[in-house]
Homo-oligomer: A and B are copies of this chain.
Amino acid sequence: MAERGTDILVIGGGPAGVAAAMSAQNTYTEKKITLIRRESAAVIPCGIPYTITSLEKPEDDVIPDKLLEGKGIQIIVDEVLDINERSAVLKGGNVIDYDRLVLATGSVSVLPRIEGIELDNVYSIKKSLDFLKKFKIKAAKSENVVIVGGGFIGFEFADEILKLNKNVTIVEKLPHCLSSAFDDEFCEMAESEMRRIGAKVITGRTVEKIEGKSKVESILLDNEERIPTDLVLVSVGYKPNVELAKKANLRMGTSGAIWVDEYLRTSDHRIFAVGDCAEKKGFLTRKPVMVMLASTAMAEGRLAGSNLFRIKVIREFHGVLWTFSTKFGNLSLAETGLTERAAKESGLDYVVGIAKTADRHPGKIKDATQVFCKLIFSRYSHLLLGAEIAGGKSVGEMINVVSVMIQKGLTDMEIDTLQIGTHPLLTPSPIAYPLINASADAILKWYKS
């Protein structure tokens, strides 16, 4: 019994869902669009760590509803129980008929099986405003904080909690933190910066047990080391939220996310899936990969929204090119495409180009920071395959220069003849522009070999 109907229904209020709804509204101005989400407010996922210190209050980390409502998109706060038969059944009792459905149900934290993980003051991140308010107060009240998992999110939270003058310990089970995204030399820079700003960084160790009566009191590592703590944040990964899709018998991908074709269509051609819940194919290798980035989710949402009824926007798709950046202490790090480790593991014959310079010129300009840039090229195809950059805040946009280069298939020789812009107060010197000089370095290596 349909109480209400809509042309386009989007489930999920995160970046993918918002992008899909807005793009659909731009493209299909006559259609009725409805977005359903569980939370009363749509938290900006990448801003979550910054609700601790950098933002005055968690409410500042919210996607404003007027972005959608101002364009006539209806927002319903409710939980969807079922999506079969072109109808969404809501927990609140309503049923909404739809013509096209976009699943943007996102991802949820993975909880490792550690004894004591159910104790009080042991948390994993939830993308909920209520959770963030509570966690901010907990962080302020604690003295000794342990973060389990040395990935981006762990590092960003550590940076923020250190600003509250707390003792922070990061425990990473792999030999290096951030090693899913960076080669060892960059991981070492990151760990050393994290130590410089005051965190204890423990690598190559697992947490055997979380200890305490009702509240957590300490954690026990596999080397018998016991670390007293009154707050634990477990951040070891996310998994796609695919409950609804499974219930609706949509095809699942081998990665555990919802299978989609090149245009984000699921096995039901009226249902699309975008963002963390949708399977991604990796750039160049085209194998299923886990990429959970708001920027990737946005690109998918935008594309799906345009193409809901007809394919209006063609994409020349080489797979998902993950591009990310982060900052803690004074170090900004960015990565896109393949690392050297990934190139090696993929069996690629590659050449590495390296460049080091200041991000201002001359280097004595006051806010100059050293930039270290590593590019990976295919030795014989000469294509740019990946980049890692460490430096100041400008690496956040510099990695996007690389991202465009990779997506457009630039070779080392093309980068060698590229025209770029420079300014003393804003960029590295034209003589030392790191993307060009790292390409030149790579060229020299195969040219002279």
Pick from B315, B394, B418, B425: contact of A54, CB below 8 A: B425
| Complex contact A413–B313 (CB within 8 A) | yes
- A407 proximity list for chain B (CB < 8 A): 418-419
A12 to B447 Cα, complex, angstroms: 28
CB distance from A197 to the nearest CB of B (A): 14
Residue from B61, B296, B327, B403 within 8 A of A423 (CB atoms) = B327
Which of B15, B23, B322, B416 contacts A430 (CB under 8 A)? Answer: B15
The CA-CA distance from A416 to B299 in the complex, in Å, is 8
Check B421 against A313 for contact (C-beta < 8 Å).
no
A325 and B427 contact, CB distance less than 8 A: yes
Q: How far is the CA of A410 from the CA of B322 in the complex (A)?
A: 20
Q: How many monomers of this protein are in the complex?
A: 2
- Chain B residues within an 8 Å CB radius of A299: 417-420
Residues A421 and B61 in contact, CB atoms below 8 Å apart? no
Determine if B418 and A55 form an interchain contact, defined as CB atoms under 8 angstroms apart: no
For A426, what are the chain B residues with a Cβ–Cβ distance below 8 Å? 325, 327, 332, 334, 393, 395-397
Proximity string of chain A (310-342) to chain B, C-beta cutoff 8 Å, 1 when within and 0 when not: 000111100011111111000010101000000
Q: Let me know if A401 is at the binding interface, CB within 8 A.
A: yes
Asked if A295 contacts B419 (CB within 8 A), the reply is yes
- Residues of chain B within 8 A (CB-CB) of A421 are 293, 295, 322-325, 334, 336, 396, 399-400, 403
Asked if A39 is at the interface (CB within 8 A of a chain B CB), the reply is no
Is A408's CB within 8 Å of the partner chain B? Answer: yes
Verify if A66 is at the interface (C-beta below 8 Å from B).
no
B303 touches A365 (CB 8 A): no
Q: Are A420's CB and B361's CB within 8 A?
A: no
A405 to B419 Cα, complex, angstroms: 11
What separation, in Å, do the CA atoms of A416 and B301 have in the docked complex?
A: 11
A18 within 8 A of B: yes
Q: Does A108 contact B (CB under 8 A)?
A: no
What residues of B have a CB within 8 angstroms of the CB of A29 in the complex? 448
Whether, in the assembled complex, A1 has its beta carbon less than 8 Å from a beta carbon of chain B, the answer is: no
Point out the residue from B322, B366, B413, B418 that lies within 8 Å of A314, measured CB to CB. B413
Q: Given B398, B419, B440, which contacts A321 in the complex, CB threshold below 8 Å?
A: B419
User: Are B393 and A425 in contact (CB-based, < 8 A)?
Assistant: yes
Which of A46, A430, A448 has its CB near the most chain B CB atoms (within 10 A)?
A430
Asked if A26 is an interface residue, CB under 8 A from chain B, the answer is yes
Cα distance, A433 to B334, chains bound together (Å): 17
Chain B contacts for A298, CB-based, 8 A: 430-431, 433
Expressed in whole angstroms, the Cα–Cα distance for A108 and B18 within the complex equals 54
In the complex, A440 Cα to B303 Cα: how many Å? 11
Residues 381-440 of A at the B interface (beta carbon under 8 Å): 393-401, 403-405, 407-408, 410, 413-414, 416-427, 429-431, 433, 436, 440
Q: Which residues 258-300 of A sit at the B interface, judged by CB distance below 8 A?
A: 293-299
For this complex, 11 residue pairs linking A to B, each with C-beta atoms less than 8 Å apart, are A26-B440, A50-B425, A55-B364, A55-B365, A63-B431, A303-B416, A314-B413, A323-B421, A399-B421, A403-B420, A404-B410
Known: A22-B431, A55-B365, A393-B393. 12 other contacts (CB 8 A): A46-B422, A47-B424, A54-B425, A60-B362, A67-B431, A295-B421, A295-B422, A302-B440, A303-B416, A404-B404, A407-B418, A408-B408
